[in-house]
Amino acid sequence: MNASTNFFATTEPVAYGGPKTDKPLAFRWYDKDRIVRGRRLEDHLRFAVCYWHSFGWIGSDPFGGETFLRPWHHGDDPMALARAKADVAFELFRLLDVPFFTFHDADVAPEGRSLAESVRNLNVIADLFEQKMSAAKVRLLWGTANLFSHRRYMAGAATNPDPEVFVYAAGQVRAALETTHRLGGQNYVLWGGREGYETLLNTDMRQELDQLGRFISLVVEHKHKIGFAGPILIEPKPKEPTKHQYDFDVATCYGFLQRYDLLKDVKLNIEQNHAILAGHSFHHEIALAQALGVFGSLDINRGDDLLGWDTDQFAMNVPELALAFHDILKAGGFTTGGLNFDAKIRRQSIDPDDLIHAHVGSMDACARAFLAAADMLDAEALTTPIAERYAGWTDADGRAILAGQRSLADLADRALAPGFDPQPRSGRQEYLESLVNRYV
């Protein structure tokens, strides 16, 4: 039985209708074939549907259980349920007309009584994916392994005090990486969900950091061994489920990658909700990753500023997204990365078509923001004021200072010269904020 039959009330792929359309399910801004700065909008945004929140989450919270009652959540045959889930997943991919999807190993195939059985289950579903992908548009943006849900990982995976857990995690990642490679995945993600600590009373941080560095190095070595061309992506998050996680934010990840000589092969997958938990803005984390040369991809969602946990709501904030896309587009756009909807519909949104509406609304918000970002970039609305602000560093003296051609004494002598009296200039923040509002 194909579980996608009659699961969604909608049966035709969502199409572009324009800003004035009155259709409840239509794209108002996301015209995938529109050419923006030389590329189709679909090729710029590279949307991906994630398998876990969309198909794995049951709608629970710490105070209440399942609300979604999906047909693949309950039954006596786990592999039959996995196949049913795949049927609905590929139907959603078709209805949304997205180019990519993403998955954890545990989302797509049931865990067995041993790692060997789990790997066999994953390979069976990978066979099914290959069949479905051969007849579909959708491709794999990235895969990953769930190294945080099972009881064995309560004290971490790579950072676990027991080396046998480290070994088990290595086996799980090899299978997920090889499956990602087999399915043509363009990246592979490592999220350190429990790579951190609950208390320092039982934690050797140097030991755990060395373990994590070695684990990621092993993944990089295997990526090259099997010929996987895409980057390994680390996903920064400061806390939750642990008290403190070693991939705290972009700056922390950069220092870690530099220490363990991983900058060549590892980039970052940045998420808005994680940026908020780290005390940063989404814009900040993207800008810093671009500045440090470690930008890779985005999990596109949003957090609630009033709540101190990872709410994973669908991204709908156009002004925030416009600034993010402005920096991404300014740097040349995505290469292997894209926009992965690591987002959950609310547990009260129990109708299957709510899943479609959520993606369509967020895709439209992203498209509208991206078009605004492109307009800002074309008009040099932000790039020109920034260039003017730092213009002194492009003249001969400024370049000489940065090139190491001036000593501290040279600079001090110049500062002591008669008439040397630099004056501050306005940062024009309010003007620039109002300027952005003209576009969004």
Distance between CA 409 and CA 89 in Å, rounded? 66
Under a CB-based contact definition with an 8 Å cutoff, are residues 270 and 236 in contact?
yes
Tokens of 50: 């994630």
Query: Rg of the chain over CA atoms, in angstroms?
Result: 24
| Beta-sheet pairing, 266-271 with 295-299 | parallel
Measure Cα distances from 416 to 259, 395, 401, 409, 423 in Å: 40, 21, 17, 10, 15
Active site residue 73: no
Interhelix angle 318-330/282-292, rounded to 10 degrees, is 10
> Is 421 designated active site?
no
For residue 216, what are its two tokens?
A: 């990621």
**Cα angle: 157, vertex 163, 166; to 5 degrees:** 30
Q: Which residues pair with 143 in a beta bridge?
A: 103, 188
Is 104 within 8 Å of 52 (Cβ atoms)? yes
Which of the residues 107, 249, 310, 312 is marked catalytic?
107
Active-site option among 53, 104, 181, 284: 104
Q: Do 53 and 70 form a contact (C-beta atoms < 8 A)?
A: no
Dist. CA 390–CA 344, nearest whole Å: 42
Taken as a whole, the chain contains a residue count of: 440
Residues identified as active-site? 104, 107
